[in-house]
Amino acid sequence: MNNQPNIYKNKKPVFFFLFPAFLFLALYLFYPFFKNIINSFQIIKDLGAPAKGWNDPIYKNYAKLFTDKNMAIAMKNTLIMIVVTLLGQVGIALILSLMVDNIKRGAKFFRIVYFFPIVVSATALGLLFNLIFLYDKGMLNQFLGMFGVTELTDWKDSAHAMVTMMVPVMWQYVGFYFIILLTGLNNISDELYESASIDGATAWQRVRYISLPLLHNVICTCSVLAVTGALKVFDLPWTMLPNGMPMGETWLTGTYMYYWAFQGKDIDYSCTVAIVIVVLGILLSKVVNMIFKEKDY
């Protein structure tokens, strides 16, 4: 029988060490969030300026959301971005991780190559892709010209702007989910694959009946991160297509919130858009969790 005292019975040291973390969250997360809610009901026209009173009616900004055409565009584009993120980022990352996990040589090389885009800042990537998609002397148009396509394409016009914006966003974060999924695959015991091979299972059957089921919870986590991340996408789209170019057709909730805070000079409405982003993030993450439903194996 173990007669040593249980050091975990005294909870006071635990609260002592957790207090700084709770204080940090209270100051830099909870207080700004609740202050943001209050600001959405007030009149604030300049960043950092005091409120000039309450809106009349008090729900004025929330009513404006339903009549704001640009907000409707931002919501539509953000939902498209969520689908592109789930299929493009998580989907491609899953395929790449399965491929790298099944190769004998060069696995470390591919890990570095696929993860590299996440290391580069989004602003630098935005400038890079601006050079690629330039109408005149852009790399893409020059590449097409090598194959006899003489007519230049404006990749930032109304017909192509959304694709031009979403391709680099999708490309940037594939490596992030690739690493998470590859780590999940590495945690699956090799004995399961060996037993399946002895029983005559093909490579596809091993992926279908072993890898994918055991990756279920990891895929669920990646999906939640992808959905919430798509709602906050800002830096790369703003670098490439500021102010919803062209003609306000590429607004996202993140870029639209930034516009009203720093250019539109309507801080209270920017706070309202920010609250919409938070609410959507909570609701959509719940929906994703309900769809995937984490399992115990």
* Single-letter code of the amino acid located at 119: V
- Whether pLDDT at 80 is above 90: yes
Q: Decide if 190 is inside a domain.
A: yes
Owning domain of residue 134: 88-292
Rounded to two decimals, the pTM is 0.85
What is the reported pLDDT for 249?
92
Beta bridge partners, 54, equal: 42
Any idea what DSSP says for residue 160?
Answer: T
Does some domain include residue 33?
no
Q: In this structure, is residue 254 part of a structural domain?
A: yes
How many independent structural domains does the chain possess? 1
**Is the CB of residue 23 less than 8 Å from the CB of residue 31?**
no
CB 210 within 8 A of CB 187: no
What string of DSSP letters covers 145-184? HTTT--S---TTSTTTHHHHHHHHHHHHHHHHHHHHHHHH
The predicted-structure confidence for 217-256, as pLDDT tens digits, reads as follows 899 999 999 998 898 899 899 999 999 998 889 999 999 9
What integer pLDDT is reported at residue 296 of this predicted model?
A: 64
Q: Domain containing 145 — which CATH number?
A: 1.10.3720.10
Tens digit of pLDDT for each residue in 50-74? 888 998 899 999 999 999 999 999 9
